Chain A
Amino acid sequence: KAGVTQTPRYLIKTRGQQVTLSCSPISGHRSVSWYQQTPGQGLQFLFEYFSETQRNKGNFPGRFSGRQFSNSRSEMNVSTLELGDSALYLCASSLGGLTTGELFFGEGSRLTVL
């Protein structure tokens, strides 16, 4: 079956702009979670959506937001971009949610902020 699809794979933005990233989970998976990966901080949890509701949230400022649609596809948005937002943003889908830990990751969207 098709894996987790993230778009776009690469993008370049300038400070102050905003960006929207998209994630299509594995068919049948209702949990979608997002992570920020940087060399210095590793993999940091952003938030998790389950059946269109945000179920968990990490320790990121309000500039980072997300949503999930009825078909389980999810988007995350970062407003007023800062240089430090440059990172690989990973989306993961799961059948049962985060407690099982069995996540299926996409290839990520690499964001560069200039």
Chain B
Amino acid sequence: GQQLNQSPQSMFIQEGEDVSMNCTSSSIFNTWLWYKQDPGEGPVLLIALYKAGELTSNGRLTAQFGITRKDSFLNISASIPSDVGIYFCAGPQSNTDKLIFGTGTRLQVFP
């Protein structure tokens, strides 16, 4: 079945730095989503992408739907301590309505 691989698995950065993470699949996705999970909470939707090549921003966050439809990227600019958490990519599995989540990127921000 379809799988979503995220990299890096974890990141330790200093406050103020920019962050980049990506999500790749062996098959095509028609929708890419990015969620963030704070410690002890459920995931929260950050950005939804519906069109290949689409670039969407949400504050300091920018995500792109890869032109091949097999990948997506999330960038966070000028990181702050509250950016700490796990970032998941997700997408609806083709031919079904199941939502597949990536393996997650754990972000730690040091002051």
Contacts and interface: CB of A to CB of B under 8 A. Distances in A.
B98 interface: yes
Interface string B79-111: 000000000101110001111111110000000
B45 A56 contact: no
A92 B48 CA distance: 16
A90 B42 contact: yes
A58 interface: yes
A45 interface: yes
Contact of B92 (A92, A98, A105, A106): A98
A27 to B, nearest CB: 18
B6 to A, nearest CB: 9
Interface residues of B, number: 22
A4 B42 contact: yes
Interface residues on A, range: 20 to 34
A33 B45 CA distance: 15
A45 B45 CA distance: 17
A43 B71 CA distance: 19
Interface string A13-40: 0000000000000000000010100000
Interface of A: 4, 33, 35, 42-43, 45, 48, 55-56, 58, 90, 92, 97-108
20 contacts: A4-B42, A33-B99, A35-B101, A42-B88, A42-B102, A43-B101, A48-B97, A55-B97, A56-B97, A90-B43, A98-B99, A99-B31, A101-B48, A101-B91, A101-B99, A102-B33, A102-B45, A103-B45, A107-B42, A108-B42
